[in-house]
A and B are shown apart, each in its own frame.
Chain A
């Protein structure tokens, strides 16, 4: 069976697909690629269905050696891509011979690159998904040097493109639309305006669970605790420190802090690519 061997795992490289929705009632997060659009594009470029697993890198890429000739593609955060040290295309299918070291470089903008291989990363699925869920510890371990990951058999021809159009990750500012509710009434009447006008920044404490922010604290109108309730992807939860947290793919399935609003899913890939320090604006919309 074709496999790849991890040469340089990078800061955090995980196997991701479209996650395991449908198990939240058991306490299982949906997980899945944070920049789902980039994941899907990478799969399409190498001829995979969008459900096939890719590698999701964080900040500084990764390097792997392939033991057979294979087609791969890198999307998401733009970066230098090298095959045995020679520059090759980003955002396009690249065919390499057996033994090649594929090196995905440091992100030039954004945070997370996606590396698809024809046939997909074929680790054993857990509850129907190959995604690593950092909150629950489900799915394959993050990559470590020397780890060997199986690749599946290619099932379709790679895309006939030289380069694919990709939206550039945000560099100067991240604007997140926000639909108020379900607990907006737990906050002071001015809180939604404060959120809408507030100058927030992406906190370095952000991860696959949530995009944490730094900025003006949102004032609560109702003190006290909220009994735990179900949480959705994109929910903006406000913990006691008043700083909004946007829930990403590995978010807990239930939570006890009030949710002032929800960032619609199409805006979340940009959130997943926003580096710490990036200015964030929440654009409050009505559903």
Chain B
């Protein structure tokens, strides 16, 4: 695979109406996503139905002329992700998850310290997926990244706060899952009757608050 220059988004054609823009990593994908939203708000992006950020890509679907945008992208300079403005969404968590001891061991701290450590960081929703309202939150430093369970659980309870790789997530509803469970929240991540339905959207700032 050829090395990617950090600043050069690489557009890949996806059928006749979409582009998948590949960048160096999650931070670059977040920055490109923010730039795409900025350009859409400014009216300088061609009409597009979906803008879907992911781990190291942003998908643009519903374009009339993906080739024209791909050519245009080559000339873009994407500024680094600007600091998030506005108040963060605060998610109160009872840190009593089933995998708390395992996470504590991986982090080299006591089980009682996981709550303080995890809640000390500023998180940001890199992207959503897996289920409506499930956000992949970045913000944990690399030394605190943890592996997934070798065998996923068949049912993780709704509201579970869980870790995997660089990400923290909150399960919006009960579902199978292989992430390590550190706690539980009563925050409603997804409610189709609410506006907005999703508590978290790409770009949302998040802080976790320790409930005792």
Contacts and interface: CB of A to CB of B under 8 A. Distances in A.
Chain A CB count within 10 A is highest, among B20, B50, B132, for B132
Interface in A236-267: 252-254, 259, 261-265
Contacts of B132: 23, 26-28, 136, 138
Nearest to A261: B15
B197 A26 contact: yes
Contact of B15 (A22, A126, A252, A264): A264
B138 to A, nearest CB: 13
A253 B129 contact: yes
A26 B14 contact: no
B14 A259 contact: yes
A252 to B, nearest CB: 7
B58 interface: yes
A133 to B, nearest CB: 9
Contact of A25 (B16, B50, B62, B173): B50
Contacts of A235: 14-15
Chain B CB count within 10 A is highest, among A181, A254, A261, for A254
A228 B134 CA distance: 14
A127 to B, nearest CB: 6
A24 B50 contact: yes
B interface residue count range (under 10 / 10 to 19 / 20 to 34 / 35 or more): 35 or more
Chain A CB count within 10 A is highest, among B13, B15, B16, B127, for B15
A183 B59 CA distance: 13
A259 B127 CA distance: 20
Contacts of B62: 21
Interface in A122-159: 126-127, 136-138
Nearest to A252: B129
Contact of B129 (A181, A228, A259, A264): A228
A127 B16 contact: no
A182 interface: yes
A21 B59 CA distance: 14
Interface in B43-83: 49-59, 61-62
A210 interface: no
B163 interface: no
Contact of A230 (B61, B173, B192, B201): B61
A26 B202 CA distance: 8
Chain B CB count within 10 A is highest, among A138, A230, A234, A263, for A230
B128 interface: yes
Interface string B117-137: 000000000011111111000
A228 B13 contact: no
A183 B12 CA distance: 8
A263 to B, nearest CB: 8
A261 B49 CA distance: 20
Interface in B1-31: 1, 12-18, 20
A234 B15 contact: yes
A181 B52 contact: no
A229 B59 contact: yes
B19 to A, nearest CB: 8
30 contacts: A21-B50, A21-B62, A24-B59, A25-B51, A26-B128, A27-B129, A137-B173, A179-B15, A181-B14, A181-B15, A182-B13, A227-B56, A228-B54, A228-B55, A228-B127, A228-B129, A229-B59, A230-B54, A230-B61, A231-B59, A232-B15, A232-B17, A232-B61, A252-B130, A253-B52, A254-B52, A254-B129, A259-B14, A263-B15, A287-B15
